[in-house]
């Protein structure tokens, strides 16, 4: 390591390393993911989806991730993501989102937890945190 160069991996990269993605654009992208998440996980969900996400491969769970993927599409287009990266992010997010929900819903169902149980809320909070962290990862991949 050269004198004064800092710790590898922690030095700020020159802005020219990512000329098409400004810090403000990344904030807008993350805000878009927040709106998308509220729409996909709350506004566009129904009893059919909620009841069947715990069953792996059930159309209810697949519909849920299809809604999320459809809501992610315009965000990726607006961010200028193309080609293989576009497909990798779209499919990666769908697979990750699907399995986070499937694990959480199956666990809650098997244990018989309801909104009256603290474990229900712990898992629901962990589920939401994992979804939000996935959006940070996506933004980081786009910015890299």
Whether 4 maps to a domain, the answer reads no
Whether 10 maps to a domain, the answer reads no
Per the listing, tokens 């519909």 go with: 63
What range defines the domain where residue 48 resides? 20-143
Helical (H) or strand (E) element with 130 = helix 118-143
Say what the pLDDT of residue 23 is.
87
Say what the pLDDT of residue 4 is.
47
Ranges of the chain with pLDDT below 70: 1-20
Say what the pLDDT of residue 20 is.
65
Number of domains in the chain: 1
Whether 7 maps to a domain, the answer reads no
Task: State if pTM tops 0.75.
Answer: yes
Closest CA to 71 of 42, 106, 108, 114: 42
Say what the pLDDT of residue 144 is.
87
Say what the pLDDT of residue 8 is.
54
Closest CA to 63 of 108, 98, 92: 98
């Amino acid at each position: 390591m050269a004198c004064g160069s800092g710790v590898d991996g922690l030095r700020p990269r020159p802005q020219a390393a990512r000329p098409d993605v400004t810090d403000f654009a990344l904030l807008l992208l993350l805000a878009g993911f927040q709106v998308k998440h509220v729409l996909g996980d709350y506004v566009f969900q129904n009893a059919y989806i909620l009841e069947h996400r715990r069953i792996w491969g059930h159309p209810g769970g697949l519909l849920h991730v299809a809604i999320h993927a459809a809501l992610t599409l315009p965000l990726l287009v607006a961010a200028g993501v193309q080609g293989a990266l576009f497909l990798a992010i779209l499919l990666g997010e769908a697979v990750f989102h699907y399995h986070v929900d499937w694990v959480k819903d199956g666990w809650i169902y098997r244990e018989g937890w309801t909104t009256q149980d603290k474990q229900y809320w712990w898992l629901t909070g962990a589920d939401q945190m994992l979804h939000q962290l996935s959006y940070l990862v996506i933004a980081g991949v786009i910015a890299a």
